[in-house]
């Protein structure tokens, strides 16, 4: 874990309320699908945790969903702004367990970090299947990028206004070697209950410190209490007591 200064080099909205931020700095401690960083928002004491959505050289990509005053401050930053990040946090997905036909499932703001995973698997010669889910057509993002990277892609919306009506869990089935997922807790719980293939989940949680000291993100697992920030955020099938 270390504090690193980054500079905002580029930012754009992938969907209403979802700002993609590209930062330049020392990315060594941030690399790895499933890991996260803690960002100091200007004018706020507590840092905000964000999943890593991409690392290329000295460029780190984050997707910041508008959720309150802190994320609003991040949305208002202009290119050139300096930010302090904590990197080297959490564990990531175990890519070696993907097998020949992995399925990636992303819901809402959990879609962006799954694109990072898809690209890293592609570099290893594995073209995963993917399913991404949103509330409605206006929230759909990264569809083109997933289509270019994955062997197959299904898009779901709750109201059926884009792609298939329903939930990404409808994509589960036989024939997949593994499942990787990031999204709301009810979605992850359903995947854990229904997936015939071994699964890995990247959990979202409110965090105080981000490195295990405050115990604010503790969850119950079959191995006893575990901290999402320190022992996770990636957990495996049958591990979490939902």
Could you tell me how far CA 115 lies from the centroid of its own chain?
8
Give the pLDDT score at 103. 99
pTM (predicted TM-score)? 0.94
- Is it the case that residue 7 has pLDDT exceeding 80? yes
- Is it the case that residue 210 has pLDDT exceeding 80? no
Percent of the chain at pLDDT exceeding 90? 90
Known binder of ligand: residue 184?
A: no
Known binder of ligand: residue 53?
A: no
Give the pLDDT score at 215. 84
Known binder of ligand: residue 217?
A: yes
Give the pLDDT score at 216. 83
Known binder of ligand: residue 51?
A: yes
Q: How confident is the model at residue 205 (pLDDT cuts 50, 70, 90)?
A: confident
Known binder of ligand: residue 209?
A: yes
CB within 8 Å of 45: residues ≥ 6 apart: none
Q: What's the rounded Cα separation, in Å, for the pair 91 and 84?
A: 21
Give the pLDDT score at 231. 94
Known binder of ligand: residue 208?
A: no
Give the pLDDT score at 207. 77
Enter the tokens of residue 193: 């209950």
- Is it the case that residue 169 has pLDDT exceeding 80? yes
- Is it the case that residue 204 has pLDDT exceeding 90? no
Q: What's the rounded Cα separation, in Å, for the pair 65 and 13?
A: 10
CA neighbor of 15 nearest in space, from 105, 90, 111, 106: 111
pLDDT tens figures, 92-142:
999 999 999 999 999 998 999 999 999 999 999 999 999 999 999 999 999
Q: What's the rounded Cα separation, in Å, for the pair 81 and 39?
A: 13
């Amino acid at each position: 874990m270390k504090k690193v200064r980054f500079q905002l080099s580029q930012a754009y909205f992938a969907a209403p309320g979802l700002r993609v931020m590209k930062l330049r700095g020392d990315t060594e401690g941030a690399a790895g699908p499933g890991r996260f960083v803690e960002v100091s928002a200007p004018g706020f004491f507590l840092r905000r945790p964000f999943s890593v959505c991409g690392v290329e050289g000295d460029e780190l990509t984050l997707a910041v969903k508008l959720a309150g005053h802190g994320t609003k401050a991040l949305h208002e930053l202009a290119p050139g702004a300096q930010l302090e990040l904590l990197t080297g946090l959490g564990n990531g997905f175990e890519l070696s367990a993907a097998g020949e036909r992995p399925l990636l499932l992303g819901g809402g703001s959990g879609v962006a970090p799954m694109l990072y995973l898809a690209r890293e698997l592609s570099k290893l010669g594995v073209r995963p299947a993917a399913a991404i889910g949103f509330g409605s057509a206006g929230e759909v993002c990264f569809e083109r990028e997933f289509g270019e990277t994955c062997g197959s892609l299904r898009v779901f919306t709750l109201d059926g206004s884009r792609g298939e009506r329903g939930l990404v869990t409808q994509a589960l089935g036989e024939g997949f070697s593994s499942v990787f997922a990031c999204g709301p807790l009810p979605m992850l719980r359903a995947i854990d209950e229904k997936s015939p293939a071994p699964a890995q989940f990247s959990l979202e949680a409110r965090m105080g410190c981000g490195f295990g000291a405050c115990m604010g993100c503790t969850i119950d697992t079959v191995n006893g209490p575990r901290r999402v920030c320190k022992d996770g955020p990636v957990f495996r099938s049958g591990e979490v007591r939902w």
